[in-house]
Structure 1
């Protein structure tokens, strides 16, 4: 989930850059921008850094296990006698 403080800050910055003639609408614009940003970012299906790091660790363990299994299969195949006809 996207940090709501980050969304608020981003919306406030964008709304703050509005020309002075439109600053009366700044609060309304800020709320609408925040909502639009949140909706848009949620559609991207982003993950948090923590979720990313957890999946990264799982992938590393999986790769290590795969390498061990590949080595074991190679050892077993090397020790296997060819079948006689």
Structure 2
């Protein structure tokens, strides 16, 4: 959520930067500016810095887990490849003349 004080400050700055004739309309113009700013900023679907930081940490932990899983998978594949290369133990021939 966007801090209402920031919106208020931004609306005031926009109002003050307008030509003097428009500013003379008074608080109604500033209120309308504030409403428009708030509506447009809400449409942007922004997240707070706190939520962004939380999601960044989640992403970092997830990447670490994926890296560990990739390493483990590589080790298992290498182990499996070595076992496939080993020759099978010799089986003595079966005597079928009995």
RMSD over equivalenced CA pairs, Å: 1.6
Q: Which runs of 4+ in 1 moved over 6 A?
A: none
Under a length normalisation based on structure 2, what TM-score does the superposition of the two structures give? 0.79
- Structure 2 unaligned regions, length at least 5: 88-98
The structure in which a higher percent of residues are helix is 1
Cα displacement (A) at 1:17: 2.1
- Flag the structure with more relative contact order, 1 or 2, with Cα contacts below 8 A and sequence separation at least 6: 1
Under a length normalisation based on structure 1, what TM-score does the superposition of the two structures give? 0.90
Equivalent residue pairs, number = 84
Query: Which deviations, in whole Å up to 9, do the C-alpha atoms of 1:1-23 show, x marking residues without a partner?
Result: 11100000111111122222233
Q: Which has the larger radius of gyration?
A: 2
- Structure 1 unaligned regions, length at least 5: none
